[in-house]
Amino acid sequence: MAEKPNNIDTSKARVLVVGDVMLDRYWFGEVSRISPEAPVPVVLVGGEEDRLGGAANVAWNCKELGARTRLLSVVGQDEAGDKLAELLRIDFEKPPSTEVLAAKLEEFRRALSECDVVILSDYGKGGLEHIEDMIRAARKARKRVLVDPKGDDYARYKGSSIITPNTAELREVVGRWKDEKDLVRRAQALRAQLGLEALLLTRGADGMTLFQGRRSLWVKAEKREVSDVTGAGDTVIATLAVMLGARAGLEAAVRLANRAAGIVVGKLGTAAATRRELFGKS
């Protein structure tokens, strides 16, 4: 019998997020005219807001869903690094360091014993240079490994449990498909080649498709007014990890991730779906 979403206790999930953290800075203002030097608007900035981006946004989403969340990354010794430390509030255990993440494998291995699921959030900024070693260590520790991929070299993700590319990212790797049948063939071939449990394709307004074994599941996008799709992929992988960490089935986790994505695209900028918004209760 499938579990009821409202009965999933996300407080039991322990998630380790590793990857490239960023500081997203937003400027708000009024556009009064077009620049005479170029066809761009001239903005009178009236306000500024900093938000967590990249892997930090993934960790924030996990935390907002109620999971016990740990973030492992490296930030610079600068104003942006200080701001990230101020915003995070989740296991920011050391001051910013110039030490690269690739040299922190031992810390990563130690952290594995305190998590159920690992998220590797790859934004192509160099923080996951030794991702192959991390995947091997996590799988040896019998942890599920979810990867948000980047670039065209997916061989580095071999052995992970689930990857969550969007349409453009998958097309860069498997080529342009002719139709849905061709997409299934290409996606399943990639899944088998990498030895994945599943491949979750996020398709924007077309929802999501989960490829596993010899079957695929299409989940229709929930109809909502779209404000901003920034960071929706972060919400998807975070929700998926939290639900799996809370012992939900994969298909149930995918449907909840789809619901969470629908919530955050209705918000401006990088955002998180809360447990109350997702389940309708605290």
Give the residue numbers annotated as catalytic, written as ranges. Answer: 234
Enumerate the β-bridge partners of residue 256. Answer: none
Pairing mode, strands 144-148 and 21-34: unpaired
Element (H, E) at 29: strand 21-34
The structure tokens listed for 174 are: 């498997």
The strand pairing partners of 70, in sequence order, are: 16
If residue 110 lies in a helix (H) or strand (E), which one and from where to where? helix 105-112
DSSP 167: H
User: Using CA atoms, how far apart are residues 238 and 17, in angstroms rounded to an integer?
Assistant: 9
CA–CA separation, 5 vs 242, rounded Å? 12
3 state SS of 116: coil
Residue 179 near residue 223 (C-beta atoms within 8 A): no
Element (H, E) at 218: strand 215-219
